[in-house]
């Protein structure tokens, strides 16, 4: 049995493949909008394991599989044996003998690595505590559509050094853009991940206004991620100066875009006037989860 190609972090795709995937996502979007039927995954089945909540990820993967002529099965730990303690390795062995591809949203990143090690079919990371690579596919497609190639541009991340921030660090290296990270003390990205990008691509700049200055894209995310709900009050205090406001957007370039993976908390990490304003592309970004993941599924499965 050959090892299947997994997508656990963005760097599982070499830069050239990532760039062609983004272009393909744009093509697949046009085909869908023109009503063209394209069913490369007829008869294929995706297993979708969700140990955390989701709106966009679930709907985009299920819809993508349906549009491609395949099928998707939603699996929640509430009603599968995974939730009753069946080992992750055993679940991987069993599921991967039945379905053609598996996506997982879970907590510890190590869990998806253990799952993938025992899977006969490609495994896709649909968010772990450490990475959210599928969201980066959508974000990068959205930038490409609105502004062209992101190579050489400056992106500012404002907020928590979380799973999304980690994936932006990976993207900066792969797609060759500069990433400024503005986060409060104690909420930096994991040091090993940060160090992998510092120097040429990634710079930590504490002050959000300074970090945003001259940026082409400003990105943020919630202050407390899934699983950190009990830290909410402490985080609201720590992140008080890390809201993407109109002043932050004014420091960026006049044609800078604003992105947020959603769900968003207006009045916390982003002002309502920014997320609902003219520089925000969050709805295109959310839609592109569908198209970019179809391009990913095609790459992993259609051949
Ligand atoms: N952005 C994102 O992954 O959204 P969901 O949590 O709704 O899937
Ligand atoms: N950082 C957020 C992203 C949600 C899509 C979380 O992990 O909850």
Instruction: Say what the pLDDT of residue 1 is.
Output: 58
Does residue 151 have an active-site annotation? Answer: no
Find where tokens 């990634």 sit: 202
Instruction: Say what the pLDDT of residue 303 is.
Output: 65
Per the structure, the complete domain to which residue 122 belongs is given by 10-131+288-302
Whether 180 and 82 map to the same domain: the answer is no
* 10, 163 contact by CB (below 8 A): no
Q: Give every residue of the chain whose pLDDT is below 50, as ranges.
A: none
The number of folded domains in the chain is: 2
Does residue 221 have an active-site annotation? Answer: yes
Q: Whose CA is nearest to atom 4 of ligand 1?
A: 56
Whether 149 and 270 map to the same domain: the answer is yes
Instruction: Say what the pLDDT of residue 24 is.
Output: 98
Nearest-CA neighbor of 258 among 270, 268, 240, 266? 270
Alpha-carbon span 26 to 33, nearest angstrom? 11
* 150, 143 contact by CB (below 8 A): yes
Token duo for residue 254: 């006049």
Asked if residue 136 has its Cβ within 6 Å of ligand 2, the reply is no
Whether 139 and 49 map to the same domain: the answer is no
In a domain, 2, yes or no: no
Instruction: Say what the pLDDT of residue 3 is.
Output: 80
Q: How far is the CA of 227 from the centre of ligand 2 (A)?
A: 9
Q: Whose CA is nearest to atom 2 of ligand 2?
A: 225
In a domain, 266, yes or no: yes
CA distances from 178 to 19, 40, 213 (A): 17, 36, 13
Asked if residue 56 has its Cβ within 6 Å of ligand 1, the reply is yes
Instruction: Say what the pLDDT of residue 199 is.
Output: 74
Whether 214 and 281 map to the same domain: the answer is yes
Whether 127 and 20 map to the same domain: the answer is yes
Burial class (CB in 10 A: 0-12, 13-18, 19+), 42: exposed
Q: How far is the CA of 1 from the centre of ligand 1 (A)?
A: 33
* 124, 101 contact by CB (below 8 A): yes
Instruction: Say what the pLDDT of residue 98 is.
Output: 98
**How many alpha carbons lie under 13 Å from residue 268 in its C-beta half-sphere?**
19
Asked if residue 5 has its Cβ within 6 Å of ligand 2, the reply is no
Strand partners, 75: 49
Whether 90 and 178 map to the same domain: the answer is no
Asked if residue 135 has its Cβ within 6 Å of ligand 1, the reply is yes
Q: Which residues, 6 or more positions from 276, have their beta carbon under 8 angstroms from its beta carbon?
A: 266
In a domain, 3, yes or no: no
Neighbours of 276 (CB within 10 A): 12
Token duo for residue 98: 């039945």
Nearest-CA neighbor of 134 among 171, 183, 187, 96? 171
Quick one: residue 44, left, alpha or beta (phi over 0 = left, psi -120 to 50 = alpha)? beta
Does residue 135 have an active-site annotation? Answer: yes
Instruction: List pLDDT tens digits, range 18-65.
Output: 999 999 999 999 999 999 999 999 999 999 999 999 999 999 999 999
Whether 164 and 276 map to the same domain: the answer is yes
| Cα Rg of the chain (Å, integer) | 19
Q: Which residues, 6 or more positions from 247, have their beta carbon under 8 angstroms from its beta carbon?
A: 209
Burial class (CB in 10 A: 0-12, 13-18, 19+), 222: buried
CATH number of the domain within which 259 lies: 3.40.50.1370
Whether 141 and 264 map to the same domain: the answer is yes
Whether 171 and 109 map to the same domain: the answer is no
Whether 107 and 185 map to the same domain: the answer is no
Token duo for residue 60: 């985009």
pTM surpassing 0.95?
A: yes
Whether 81 and 217 map to the same domain: the answer is no
Q: Which of 24, 56, 132, 153 is catalytic?
A: 132
Whether 126 and 162 map to the same domain: the answer is no
Strand partners, 182: 158
């Amino acid at each position: 049995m050959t090892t299947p190609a997994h997508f656990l972090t963005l760097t599982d795709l070499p830069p050239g493949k990532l760039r062609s995937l983004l272009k393909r996502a744009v093509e697949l979007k046009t085909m869908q909008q023109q009503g063209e039927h394209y069913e490369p995954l007829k008869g294929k089945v995706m297993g979708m394991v969700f140990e955390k909540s989701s709106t966009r990820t679930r709907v985009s993967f299920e819809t993508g599989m349906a549009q491609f002529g395949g099928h998707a099965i939603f699996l929640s730990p509430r009603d599968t044996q995974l939730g009753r303690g069946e080992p992750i390795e055993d679940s991987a062995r069993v599921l991967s003998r039945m379905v053609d591809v598996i996506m997982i949203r879970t907590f510890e990143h190590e869990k998806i690595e253990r799952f993938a090690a025992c899977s006969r079919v490609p495994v896709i990371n649909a968010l772990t505590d450490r990475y959210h690579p599928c969201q980066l596919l959508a974000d990068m497609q959205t930038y490409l559509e609105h502004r062209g190639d992101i190579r050489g541009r400056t992106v500012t991340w404002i907020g928590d050094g979380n799973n999304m921030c980690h994936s932006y660090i990976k993207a900066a290296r792969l797609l060759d853009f500069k990433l400024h990270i503005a986060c409060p003390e104690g909420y930096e990205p994991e040091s090993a991940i940060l160090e992998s990008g510092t120097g040429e691509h990634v710079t930590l700049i504490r002050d959000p206004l300074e970090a945003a200055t001259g940026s082409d894209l400003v990105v943020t995310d919630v202050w407390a991620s899934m699983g950190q709900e009990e830290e909410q009050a402490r985080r609201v205090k720590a992140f008080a100066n890390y809201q993407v406001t109109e002043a932050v957007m004014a420091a960026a370039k006049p044609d800078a875009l604003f992105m947020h993976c959603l769900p968003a908390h207006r009045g916390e990490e982003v002002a309502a006037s920014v997320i609902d304003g003219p520089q925000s592309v969050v709805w295109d970004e959310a839609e592109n989860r569908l198209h970019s993941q179809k391009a990913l599924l095609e790459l992993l499965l259609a051949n």
